[in-house]
Amino acid sequence: MAHPVARVSSNSLKLPLPLTASGQILQICPQCAHRLPSIHTRQFTTTRRRNAAGVVQSIPNIDSKLPKHVSMKSQMKKANRQQIGTDLGKLPQTFILPAAKDLPGWMSPNFMKRTRIHWLQFKTAVKDWWSLVVFLKWDVKRDPLTGKKLRKPLELSQRNQIARDLHKEFHEALGEGDLKRLQVICCEGLMAQARMRVEQRKALRRRKEPWQLLSYSGIRYPAWLERWPLSGFLPGASTRVVSDRLAPLPFADTYLRQCIVRISSVQNYLLADRDKDILLKHTDYVVIQKMTTKGEEGPWKIWGLTEPTTTKEIDGLLEGKGQESGTTLAERIRDKISGIAGV
């Protein structure tokens, strides 16, 4: 049923008409009369609301533009192994026994200090060996199908040969200026130094620096005698492992293993800024390392050369100050992540 509609005559509609500045009455069209209340009675209110809405929209969201502070713990979770790279420096608190001539004599008044140094070496070696066993043999994941532990080889008997091969290949590739070979076997820091060395040779118009390994100094024992633990007791050996450590990284099933091997050899090389070749007997402490990422082992690479622990560092270790000096591995990783994140 249709509802009746009330009709209002335009002649009966009486509205107060606005006055102009001169006092004249404005004539308004009857068809537009129904619009007047919305114009005259709400004009100020609507304008304020409209302007206020425009001001609110024009005010920027300051909080949304301020940089949010991300904690280092969150950055460590979001970072990956590739961001850290392959060069974290030599592991902190690495102990390398100096040569016998640099230690107190057994018949000297400081013979007790010599005893303490060797006791420190023994404790460090046992602790480092145990860390290898824990991370490579004991605390490992299990195969989801068979349930067996996915143990990894310790490679204790292969370390000497691996270090000799990397040491020789590095010097040969550096002498030839073969950056592709160097990229495969070098860590990032050593690779940067090698590339700079090659560029400097180009400036001297010498692209190569011939290098030759003439012989190893000392006794070169056969491979079957270099097996661990017998290799650590061979006298006068030309190649000897002096440190082998493993440190976990702040990622799931990721850790760094670093091994230092002392290699005594006779080398012949011709430098780019020399006219005659040089024949020298070298004792190099070669640092090799491998990184395991999410349970997958990477290849052995050469990190560079290092020096034995100094007398001052030994005194600090004997006094128990080794943990307080220098930066820790976690601090180095945090510094790298902070540099990447721009914090």
14 domain-assigned = no
Distances (CA, A) of 240 to 105, 131, 161: 22, 20, 10
67 domain-assigned = no
Cα–Cα distance, 83 to 79 (Å, whole number): 7
CB 185 within 8 A of CB 169: yes
Structure tokens at 257: 């293993």
pLDDT band at 180; cut points 50, 70, 90: very high
Cα–Cα distance, 317 to 325 (Å, whole number): 10
**Residue percentage of the chain with pLDDT more than 70:** 69
Segment 228-284, tens digit of pLDDT = 888 888 899 999 999 999 998 877 788 899 999 999 999 999 888 888 889 999 999
pLDDT of residue 327: 57
Rounded to the nearest integer, the mean pLDDT of the chain is 78
Provide the domain limits for residue 130. 96-309
pLDDT over 60 (residue 217): yes
pLDDT over 50 (residue 290): yes
**Residue percentage of the chain with pLDDT more than 90:** 39
Please state the domain count of the chain: 1
What number is the average pLDDT over the span 84-104? 86
291 domain-assigned = yes
pLDDT band at 156; cut points 50, 70, 90: very high
DSSP 105-143: -TTSTTHHHHHHHHHHHHHHHHHHHHHHHIIIIIS--B-
Question: Rg (Cα) of the chain, in Å, rounded?
Answer: 39
More confident residue, 177 or 337: 177
Distances (CA, A) of 167 to 36, 83, 170, 189: 96, 27, 5, 16
Strands 239-248 and 296-297: unpaired
pLDDT band at 42; cut points 50, 70, 90: very low
132 domain-assigned = yes
Q: Find the largest Cα–Cα distance for the chain.
A: 132
pLDDT of residue 295: 80
pLDDT over 60 (residue 219): yes
What number is the average pLDDT over the span 144-162? 89
18 domain-assigned = no
What number is the average pLDDT over the span 30-48? 44
- Give the Cβ contact number of residue 93 at 10 Å: 18
pLDDT band at 170; cut points 50, 70, 90: very high
CB 313 within 8 A of CB 107: no
pLDDT band at 296; cut points 50, 70, 90: confident
199 domain-assigned = yes
Q: Which amino acid is at 138?
A: W
17 domain-assigned = no
72 domain-assigned = no
Q: Which amino acid is at 18?
A: P
Cα–Cα distance, 61 to 53 (Å, whole number): 15
pLDDT band at 147; cut points 50, 70, 90: confident
pLDDT of residue 232: 82
Instruction: Classify burial at 80, counting beta carbons within 10 Å of its beta carbon; exposed 0-12, middle 13-18, buried 19 or more.
Output: exposed
